[in-house]
């Protein structure tokens, strides 16, 4: 099986540690993951902001780049959902099989215990596109429950949007901030040290607000927690 | 659509004001969370909900595909049953027809059952200009009308008001309201009962909308809770129903689907208290049906947007929407607020005003609306499609073109990342211009010295 | 004017849907069962709406109604079986009726202006409505009810007493319709 990593433009540029963690985790599980250098962006930002033609160009570029692979793994629910849910609406052909990281682990590799160690109190935000787009269900939390040392606490109102929404966060800054404030209120209620999600875009938004408020709660991508071991744990 | 909202600022500006209103936030949060729970529990009772939803969607799509045939059939059946059918291309024409029909009765007062179509066309205002007073009889509509306010929700137009505010409105504006009126919902409902009873008994003309029209039989269907609908539909001598052309269902059997979908999605009940169905002139009444286009046929012409015409006005999308919950209904500047309004209003009115252009962006695309929609309208997909049709600012276009240029060659992306990495210490804590929308409430992330792809080239691959 | 409007609207529709794909209706949901409805479920669902429900053998219906109406005088629509209730003359403070169909799953009673049901106004204006439902009139679900009903009759579907959810989206019983709904279910 030829497996490619689709890092996504946001992770590539701003969160390389998530990519490194995904590579380390997959290798630990015996997957020789490749990184096609021609990859850039799935086109979601353009599509969602109203630039369909630009998005179609990027979508075609994506299918060209990843065409030869049996599986494409993306550490982003929202970019994976863009390819799987939106490309068909854009009349894109030969769409490669794209999995969000948790789907690839649970559905393809059939593992829920990835041998990770992360001795912290963690709460999980499911993110809209993983939850309602990809419908990953309990896969991420099943993976977290098997992490040694990790105490998983449920997040009240988990299914509610954090208010990121791409350019929504800028175009409708006040509503976005109000949504984030409520999300953070729920996070604080859990008493967790770490907020985990499978999408760094949402974490950029929630994490940026948590940091501004000096809340003390850290954000970590699912890949980073799952990659963590006794030797590497924070 | 109605002129009442003309000249309103854009959605973000309206919403910015609304999120500061803590009373409004509290009222909306309480109400929408209550109804969310109720809906989820009664929908969960039906193990064939997914199949009902599929049937609802396909019945509506089929009807819309053959709307001309079914409208003609409806007209024949209503006429055969003693009713009169009128056709209205737009709001002005519909208002003229209704005003003329009322005048022909010699009456100057009419009672009204809550109807989105008549709000959309601004019927009450048009009738007032003709010297005809229209009295809203639905409790929430009454609260809005007495308070000289705008509706903010499809099902519960006064959702932005809590019991204490409603009591204030009644005490101030309701003739004969008891001085010691409490804010108990039961007492408020009783006050409305007393206030409207005489009006019902004396009214000679009633105006309604309809939830469904059955082409096969010529039957109209109105769902309601309070009994004001039954009062208006049965007591007055003349009944005028203004109904959007998309409200048709082909057969009587089709109703079995929608009478399961609508109450459970709307008020979170297994069934609403009262549903009235009548065919033509009933029990000695005179009956007029006004079939309303008012932009619907242009929505129908849009391949992606036409699914909005499946809408049965249940409000489930409003009740789950995190944006609606915080911005409130008034921010949408339309009688159709919330996610459905964000796709319906710009299609019905066009996107010529800054407000209407801003509506497709009034969503984080979280998908909660699509999930609960009983006729499976893919609201996020229509929003995205409308965003593609909206006019964009020059600065945004330039930015998006630049981003597209960078993303079209991986080498350009790598170069941009390296440049960003070198400049990372220079990124200010607060960004200028439109990007200040980001840094007003959030910290920027630390920009890494090295992108993932550079790390991969250096030591990642093996 | 209306004739022109009609032609314009129909023409607009035809040009709007030209070339659109045919849309087949998919009915995968539970349809007509053709089975008798569950009396206990019906009673429970009607009670959920805060209506008063009596489930009694057919032979005891008259006595039950007599008990309920000891303090009341009810109006009687034409065709109501007089062996169940025959009031004396006087000013009434409620109405009694039969029904056409009842739905167990939703706790709904449907009136179709048939014998014993009166006009729509007769069961609307009084503040109290006593409805008599025979066991054989109860069907399991909405599709069963639709199949039994004639669309061209004036129909009123009643699920509990008049109510509103307009104040903070909480259901409150009692606005314009009858504030008290009482149901007698005759079994056997």
Report residue B400: phi and psi, to 5°: -70, -35
List, for residues C168-187, the tens digit of each pLDDT value: 877 788 888 899 999 999 99
Residue A159, domain member (yes or no): yes
- The residue with tokens 């109510």 is C163
Evaluate the CA torsion angle A45, A51, A52, A58 in order and state its sign.
negative
**pLDDT above 90 as % of chain A:** 97
d(CA B18, CA B12): 10
- Distance from CA of residue B57 to its chain's centroid? 18
Contact B309, B300 (CB under 8 A): yes
B256 contacts in chain C (CB < 8 Å): 31, 142-143, 145-146
Interface check for B403 against chain A (CB to CB < 8 A): the answer is yes
CATH code at position C159: 3.40.50.10420
Mind telling me how many Å the CA of B179 is from chain C's nearest CA?
A: 20
B48 contacts in chain C (CB < 8 Å): 28-30
Residues A17 and A69 in one domain: yes
Residues A209 and A178 in one domain: yes
Q: Among A103-107, B5-9, B106-110, which stretch is predicted with the lowest mean pLDDT? A: B5-9
Using alpha carbons, select from B230, B192, B112, B267 the residue that is nearest to residue C174: B192
Residues B419 and B281 in one domain: no
Residue B448, domain member (yes or no): yes
Residues A51 and A142 in one domain: no
> Domain end: B297, B319, B352, which one?
B297
Within 8 A by CB and 6+ apart from B229, the residues are B113, B114, B138, B208, B222, B223, B274, B276
Within 8 A by CB and 6+ apart from B76, the residues are B218
Contact B287, B280 (CB under 8 A): yes
Contact B329, B338 (CB under 8 A): yes
Contact between B71 and C163 using a beta-carbon 8 Å cutoff: no
Going by their DSSP bridges, the two strands B84-88 and A218-221 should be labelled as unpaired
A215 contacts in chain B (CB < 8 Å): none
Domain holding C59, by residue range, is 35-187
> Domain end: B275, B297, B319, which one?
B297
Residue A114, domain member (yes or no): no
Q: What is the pLDDT of residue C167?
A: 87
Of C22, C29, C174, the CB nearest to B186: C174
Residue C163, domain member (yes or no): yes
List, for residues B392-425, the tens digit of each pLDDT value: 888 889 999 999 999 999 999 999 999 888 888 8
Residues A99 and A21 in one domain: yes
Q: What is the pLDDT of residue B3?
A: 45
Residue C162, domain member (yes or no): yes
Q: What is the pLDDT of residue A157?
A: 96
Q: Number of structural domains, chain C? A: 1
For the segment B309-327, the average pLDDT, to the nearest whole number, is 97
A76 is written with which tokens? 């982003």
List, for residues C62-95, the tens digit of each pLDDT value: 999 999 999 999 999 999 999 999 888 889 999 9
DSSP structure class, residue C75: B
Size of chain B, expressed as the number of residues it contains: 462
Report residue C93: phi and psi, to 5°: -130, 35
Residue B306, domain member (yes or no): no
Residues A98 and A23 in one domain: yes
Residues A101 and A133 in one domain: no
B97 is written with which tokens? 């027809």
Cα distances (angstroms) measured from residue B445 to each of A194, A211, A220, B439: 17, 9, 13, 10
Domain holding A211, by residue range, is 121-227
- A166-169: long-range contacts (C-beta < 8 A, 24 or more apart)? A166/A44, A166/A45, A166/A48, A166/A49, A166/A201, A166/B364, A166/B365, A167/A45, A167/A48, A167/A49, A167/B361, A168/B361, A168/B363, A168/B364, A168/B365, A169/A205, A169/B437, A169/B438
Report residue B291: phi and psi, to 5°: -90, 125
Neighbour-count burial of B421, counting CB atoms closer than 10 A to its CB (0-12 exposed, 13-18 middle, 19+ buried)? middle
Residues A74 and A29 in one domain: yes
Residues A29 and A79 in one domain: yes
Q: Number of structural domains, chain A? A: 2
Residue C174, domain member (yes or no): yes
> Domain end: A108, A141, A157, which one?
A108
For the segment B183-187, the average pLDDT, to the nearest whole number, is 92
Evaluate the CA torsion angle B73, B76, B78, B81 in order and state its sign.
negative
Evaluate the CA torsion angle B312, B317, B319, B324 in order and state its sign.
negative
Residues A92 and A15 in one domain: yes
> Domain end: B277, B297, B317, which one?
B297
Evaluate the CA torsion angle B324, B328, B330, B335 in order and state its sign.
positive
Query: Which of B54, B297, B307 to mutate to probe the C interface, most C CBs <10 Å?
Result: B297
- Confidence bin at B4 (pLDDT 50/70/90): low
Residue B302, domain member (yes or no): no
Contact A159, A126 (CB under 8 A): yes
B422 contacts in chain A (CB < 8 Å): none
Residue C167, domain member (yes or no): yes
Q: Number of structural domains, chain B? A: 2
CATH code at position B20: 3.40.50.10420
Residue A115, domain member (yes or no): no
Residue B85 host element (H or E): strand B84-88
Contact between A50 and B389 using a beta-carbon 8 Å cutoff: yes
- Distance from CA of residue A22 to its chain's centroid? 11
Of A41, A129, A168, the CB nearest to B407: A41
List, for residues C107-140, the tens digit of each pLDDT value: 999 999 999 999 999 999 999 999 999 999 999 9
pLDDT at residue B127 is higher than 50: yes
A12 is written with which tokens? 């590539």
The residue in chain C having the minimum alpha-carbon distance to the alpha carbon of residue B163 is C167
Contact between B267 and C165 using a beta-carbon 8 Å cutoff: yes
DSSP structure class, residue B361: G
Contact C142, C105 (CB under 8 A): yes
pLDDT at residue B291 is higher than 70: yes
DSSP structure class, residue B150: -
Residue B336, domain member (yes or no): no
Interface check for B442 against chain A (CB to CB < 8 A): the answer is yes
Of A9, A165, A177, the CB nearest to B365: A165
First to last CA, chain C: 59
In this predicted complex, what is the ipTM? 0.96
Domain holding B441, by residue range, is 411-460
Residue A234, domain member (yes or no): no
Q: What is the pLDDT along chain A (234 residues), one digit of tens a residue?
A: 999 999 999 999 999 999 999 999 999 999 999 999 999 999 999 999 999 999 999 999 999 999 999 999 999 999 999 999 999 999 999 999 999 999 999 999 999 999 999 999 999 999 999 999 999 999 999 999 999 999 999 999 999 999 999 889 999 999 999 999 999 999 999 999 999 999 999 999 999 999 999 999 999 999 999 999 988 877
Going by their DSSP bridges, the two strands C155-158 and C108-111 should be labelled as antiparallel
pLDDT at residue B457 is higher than 60: yes
The residue in chain C having the minimum alpha-carbon distance to the alpha carbon of residue B301 is C16
Mind telling me how many Å the CA of B435 is from chain A's nearest CA?
A: 7
Contact between B293 and C9 using a beta-carbon 8 Å cutoff: yes
pLDDT at residue B433 is higher than 80: no
Contact A222, A198 (CB under 8 A): yes
B448 contacts in chain A (CB < 8 Å): 14-17
**pLDDT above 70 as % of chain C:** 99
Residue B6, domain member (yes or no): no
Residue B259, domain member (yes or no): yes
Residue B456, domain member (yes or no): yes
Residue C176, domain member (yes or no): yes
Using alpha carbons, select from B420, B428, B433 the residue that is nearest to residue B444: B428
List, for residues A182-232, the tens digit of each pLDDT value: 999 999 999 999 999 999 999 999 999 999 999 999 999 999 999 999 888
Q: How many helices (H) and strands (E) does chain B have?
A: 23, 10
The 10 Å Cβ neighbour count of residue C30 is 18
Residue C7, domain member (yes or no): no
Residue C11, domain member (yes or no): no
Residues A140 and A178 in one domain: yes
Contact B412, B406 (CB under 8 A): yes
Reading phi first (left if > 0) and then psi (alpha if -120 to 50, else beta), residue B356 is in: alpha
For the segment C32-60, the average pLDDT, to the nearest whole number, is 97
Residue C74, domain member (yes or no): yes
Helices in chain A by DSSP H: which ranges? 9-14, 16-28, 44-49, 52-66, 77-81, 101-103, 128, 139-145, 168-171, 173-190, 200-212, 222-227
Q: What is the pLDDT of residue A208?
A: 93
Residues A135 and A203 in one domain: yes
- The residue with tokens 């595909």 is B65
Of C14, C28, C108, the CB nearest to B54: C28
Cα distances (angstroms) measured from residue B153 to each of B12, B32, C169: 18, 11, 11
Residues A80 and A31 in one domain: yes
For chains C and B, having 3+ Cβ pairs within 8 Å is answered yes
pLDDT at residue B434 is higher than 80: no
Residue A79, domain member (yes or no): yes
CATH code at position A205: 3.40.50
pLDDT at residue B93 is higher than 60: yes
Q: With the CA atoms of B345, B346, B349 and B350 taken in that order, what torsion angle do they form, in degrees rounded to the nearest 10?
A: -170
The residue in chain A having the minimum alpha-carbon distance to the alpha carbon of residue B446 is A14
């Amino acid at each position: 099986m030829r497996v490619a990593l689709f890092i996504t433009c946001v992770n590539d540029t701003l969160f390389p540690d998530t990519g490194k963690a995904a590579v380390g985790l997959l290798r630990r599980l015996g997957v020789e993951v490749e990184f096609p250098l021609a990859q850039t962006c799935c086109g979601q930002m353009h599509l969602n902001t109203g630039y369909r033609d630009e998005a179609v160009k990027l979508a075609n570029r994506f299918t060209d780049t990843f065409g030869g692979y049996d599986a494409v793994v993306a550490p982003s629910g929202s970019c994976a959902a863009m390819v799987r849910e939106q490309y068909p609406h854009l009349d894109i052909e030969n769409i490669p099989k794209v999995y969000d990281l948790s789907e690839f682990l649970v559905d393809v590799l059939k593992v829920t215990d990835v041998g990770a160690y992360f001795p912290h109190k963690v709460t999980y935000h499911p993110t809209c596109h993983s939850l309602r787009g990809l419908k990953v269900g309990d896969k991420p939390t099943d993976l977290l429950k098997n992490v040694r040392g990790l105490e998983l606490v449920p997040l009240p109102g988990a299914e509610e949007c954090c208010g990121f929404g791409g350019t929504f966060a800028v175009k409708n800054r006040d509503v976005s901030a109000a949504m984030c404030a409520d999300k953070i209120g729920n996070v604080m209620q859990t008493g967790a040290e770490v907020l985990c999600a499978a999408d760094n875009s949402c974490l950029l938004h929630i994490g940026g607000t948590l940091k501004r408020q000096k809340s003390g709660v850290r954000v970590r991508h699912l890949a980073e927690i799952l990659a963590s071991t006794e030797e590497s744990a924070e | 659509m109605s002129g009442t909202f003309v000249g309103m600022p854009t959605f973000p500006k309206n919403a910015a004001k609304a999120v500061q209103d803590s009373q409004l936030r509290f009222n909306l949060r309480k109400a929408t969370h209550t109804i969310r729970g109720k809906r989820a529990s009664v929908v969960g009772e039906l193990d064939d909900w997914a199949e009902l939803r599929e049937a609802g969607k396909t019945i509506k799509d089929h009807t819309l595909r053959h709307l001309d045939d079914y409208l003609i059939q409806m007209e024949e059946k209503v006429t055969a049953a003693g009713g009169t059918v009128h056709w209205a291309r737009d709001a002005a024409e519909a208002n003229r027809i209704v005003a003329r029909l009322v005048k022909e009765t010699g009456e100057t007062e009419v009672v009204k059952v809550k109807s989105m179509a008549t709000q959309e066309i601004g019927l009450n205002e048009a009738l007032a200009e003709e010297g005809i007073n229209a009295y809203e009889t639905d409790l929430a509509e009454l609260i809005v009308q007495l308070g000289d306010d705008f509706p903010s929700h499809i099902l519960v137009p006064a959702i932005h008001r809590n019991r204490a505010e409603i009591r204030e409105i009644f005490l101030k504006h309701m003739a004969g309201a008891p001085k010691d009126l409490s804010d108990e919902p039961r007492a408020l409902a009783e006050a409305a009962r007393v206030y409207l009873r005489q009006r019902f008994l004396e009214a000679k003309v009633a105006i309604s909308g309809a939830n469904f029209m059955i082409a096969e039989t010529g039957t109209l269907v109105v769902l309601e809770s309070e009994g004001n609908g039954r009062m208006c539909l049965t007591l007055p001598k003349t009944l005028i129903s203004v109904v959007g052309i998309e409200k048709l269902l082909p057969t009587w059997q089709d109703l079995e689907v929608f009478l399961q979908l609508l109450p459970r999605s709307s008020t979170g009940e297994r069934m609403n208290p009262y549903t009235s169905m009548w065919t033509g002139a009933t029990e000695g009444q005179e009956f007029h049906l006004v079939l309303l286009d008012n932009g619907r046929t242009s929505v129908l012409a849009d391949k992606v947007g036409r699914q909005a015409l499946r809408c049965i006005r249940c409000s489930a999308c409003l009740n789950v929407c995190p944006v609606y919950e915080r911005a409130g209904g008034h921010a949408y500047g339309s009688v159709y607020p919330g996610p459905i309004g964000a796709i319906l209003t710009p299609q019905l009115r066009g996107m010529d005003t800054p407000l209407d252009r801003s509506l497709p962006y009034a969503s984080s695309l979280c998908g909660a609306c699509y999930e609960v929609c009983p006729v499976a309208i893919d609201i996020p997909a229509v929003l995205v499609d409308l965003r593609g049709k909206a006019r964009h600012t020059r600065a945004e276009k330039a930015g998006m073109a630049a981003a597209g240029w960078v993303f079209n060659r991986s080498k350009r992306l790598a170069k941009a990342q390296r440049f960003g990495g070198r400049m990372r210490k220079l990124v200010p804590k607060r960004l200028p211009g439109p990007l200040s929308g980001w840094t007003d409430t959030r910290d920027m992330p630390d920009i890494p010295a090295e992108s993932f792809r550079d790390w991969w080239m250096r030591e990642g691959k093996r | 004017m209306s004739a022109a409007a009609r032609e314009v609207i129909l023409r607009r529709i035809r040009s709007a849907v030209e070339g659109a794909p045919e849309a087949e209706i998919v009915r995968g949901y539970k349809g007509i069962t053709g089975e008798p409805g569950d009396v206990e479920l019906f009673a429970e669902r009607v009670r959920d709406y805060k209506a008063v429900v009596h489930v009694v053998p057919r032979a005891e219906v008259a006595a039950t109604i007599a008990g309920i109406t000891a303090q009341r005088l009810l109006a009687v629509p034409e065709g109501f079986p007089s062996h169940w209730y025959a009031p004396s003359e006087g000013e009434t403070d409620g109405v009694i009726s039969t029904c056409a169909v009842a739905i167990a799953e939703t706790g709904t009673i449907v009136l179709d202006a048939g014998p014993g049901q009166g006009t729509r106004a007769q069961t609307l204006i009084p503040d109290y409505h006593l409805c008599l439902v025979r066991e054989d009139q109860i069907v399991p679900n909405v599709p069963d009810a639709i199949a039994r009903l004639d669309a061209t009759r004036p129909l009123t579907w009643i699920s509990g007493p008049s109510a509103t959810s307009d104040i903070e989206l909480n259901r409150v019983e009692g606005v314009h319709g009858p504030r008290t709904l009482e149901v007698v279910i005759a079994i056997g």
